A and B are shown apart, each in its own frame.
Chain A
Amino acid sequence: MTAIHLHVNGAAIADDVPPRLSLADFLRERRNLTGTHLGCEHGVCGACTVFVDGEPARSCLMLAVACDERMVETIEGFADDPVIAALRRTFHQRHALQCGYCTPAMLITARDLILRKRAGSEREIRDGLAGNICRCTGYTNIVTAIAEAAKEIGKEAPNAQ
């Protein structure tokens, strides 16, 4: 067991974890944050994407021990985030999900694309989504929803992106 101290969704957490425990399993099994999903567990499907120190990361490819003194944000932590709020709305309006398994990480990835201004065209959005697999939708509605949310966020706060 290794002692770790980290922030999860703003709260300071201390825990003892076995080094082999992934960040994803730490979040799901120990923090009960089950919005982070596990698909392939080797970095290909993208369902486990969270923010670590403000950047998107695969929680299946990060060990919890390596997140000592880091800041982790999961989909549960973005309840009041304006970009996620816009995405939630456009995903709903555009029917950008069916089973919902990939959705939390789609929102996380889309938030990063919008904040880095990489959601300006369909091509850019599709490129940015290449690491997030959806087996239901065929992506069309996801791309549309992200494009609309990006436009909305850009209009509200053109300098704050």
Chain B
Amino acid sequence: MKAPPVDYVRPRSLTEAVGLLAHASVEARVIAGGQSLVGMMNLRVAAPGLLIDIARLPELLTVADHADAVTLGACVTHAAIEDGRVADPSHGLMPRVASTLAYRAIRTRGTIGGSLALSDPAAEWPAVLAALDAEVVLSGSSGRRLLKCTEFTTGIFQTKLAQNEIIESVRVPKLSAGARCGYVKLCRKSGEFANALAVVVADPRRGYSRVVAGAANGAPLVLGDASHLVAEGPHDPDTLRGTIGRDLDRASDRHFDEFQRNLHTAAAMRAVQQALL
């Protein structure tokens, strides 16, 4: 189908974009790569009155390489991350994730900020950024605020992004030397949305470890006991499987059926083994 009628504006600065968003008299939506939004408009699932195009705002394309973190502008594309055209704080985890995300022709336009803003439950970045303990920088008419990615996504397509706010950047802590990662995406065809995602980050030097399940019927799910187990080092498979299973069962609000529970367990097991082997 075709998208419904809409107005369009391309502001020249982030301040102008935030102003337009705050003062719009119709439902205004920010568009960056548009790889989800235009599809949703074509399917008539979304029908905004005004599109505010931020894809080329220089403030949102900036990448800053700090001593302890990398800040990626919200409009950095998946392809730029895949190709290593931007600094990588994650020892190759982020480029690897990017290369599994949809298809190249989508990755060249889709952005990391757009993925977070939509927070599709099956999307890669919300889970991966939660596992990396990243923060999101939000810009609104009353100023700027910082939120942990683990707090930012609150549910299925639900975030703490206010109507007058735009994601400005993502701040990803740098992994220390010797940190290990695991990433497993289970889906039936390369590039499809995940049926289960598991991300593991183990960074002993910073005393940090986290196991996150994505595509988990809600916001990315931090598997707390499994995270502690990973910090201790390799364990036998039965202990690991039992711990992951208990973590999943505790999240009773996710209503995993047996198939999903097995899928998430398998993904998490493999990701932990990748990280610790």
B42 contacts A131, C-beta separation under 8 Å: no
Assembly CA distance A48 to B227 (angstroms) = 43
B31 — which chain A residues lie within 8 A by C-beta?
63, 66
In the bound complex, do residue B105 and residue A56 qualify as a contact, i.e. CB atoms below 8 Å apart?
yes
CB-based nearest B residue for A113 = B104
| Partner-binding segment picked from A18-26, A73-81, A84-92, A96-104 | A18-26
Task: Say whether A68 faces chain B, with CB atoms less than 8 Å apart.
Answer: yes
- Chain B hits for A22, CB < 8 A: 2-3, 38, 42
Give bound CA distance, A119 to B5, whole Å: 40
Residue of A nearest to B55 (CB): A66
Whether B8 pairs with A43 at a CB distance below 8 angstroms is no
Beta-carbon nearest neighbor of B105 in chain A? A56
CA gap between A49 and B103 in the complex, in Å: 11
With contacts A22-B2, A55-B108 taken as known, whether A131 is within 8 angstroms of B103 at the C-beta atoms is yes
Out of A41, A57, A109, name the residue touching B42 (CB < 8 Å): A41
With a cutoff of 8 Å between Cβ atoms, the chain B residues found around residue A62 in the complex are 34, 38, 109
Judge if B102 is at the interface, Cβ distance under 8 Å. Answer: yes
Which of B8, B39, B105, B191 meets A49, CB within 8 Å? B105
B250 at the interface (CB under 8 A from A): no
A130 lies within 8 A of B53 (CB):
no
Q: Considering residues A22, A52, A61, A132, which has the most beta carbons from chain B within 10 angstroms of its beta carbon?
A: A61
A58 at the interface (CB under 8 A from B): yes
Answer whether residue A152 sits at the interface, using C-beta atoms and an 8 A cutoff: no
Asked if A32 is at the interface (CB within 8 A of a chain B CB), the reply is: no
Range of interface residues on B (Cβ < 8 Å): 20 to 34
Is B191 a contact of A61 with CB atoms below 8 Å? no
A36 to B6, CA, bound (A): 24
Q: Which residue of B lies closest to A65 (CB)?
A: B8
CB of A128 closer than 8 Å to a CB of B: yes
Q: How distant is B166 from chain A, measured CB to nearest CB, in Å?
A: 17
Which B residues touch A109, using CB under 8 A? 104-105
Instruction: Note all chain A residues with C-beta closer than 8 A to B2.
Output: 20, 22, 25, 41
B104 near A20 with CB under 8 A, answer no
In the complex with contacts A41-B1, A66-B55, A57-B39 CB distance below 8 A: no
Given contacts A20-B5, A61-B38, A65-B8, A130 and B103 within 8 Å (CB-CB) = yes
CB <8 Å contact, A19 and B35? no
Interface residues of B (CB under 8 A from A): 1-8, 10, 31, 34-35, 38-39, 41-43, 51, 53, 55, 79, 102-106, 108-109, 189-191
Jot down 9 A-B pairs with beta carbons below 8 A, ordered by A: A19-B7, A22-B2, A42-B39, A63-B38, A63-B51, A66-B34, A66-B53, A112-B104, A132-B103
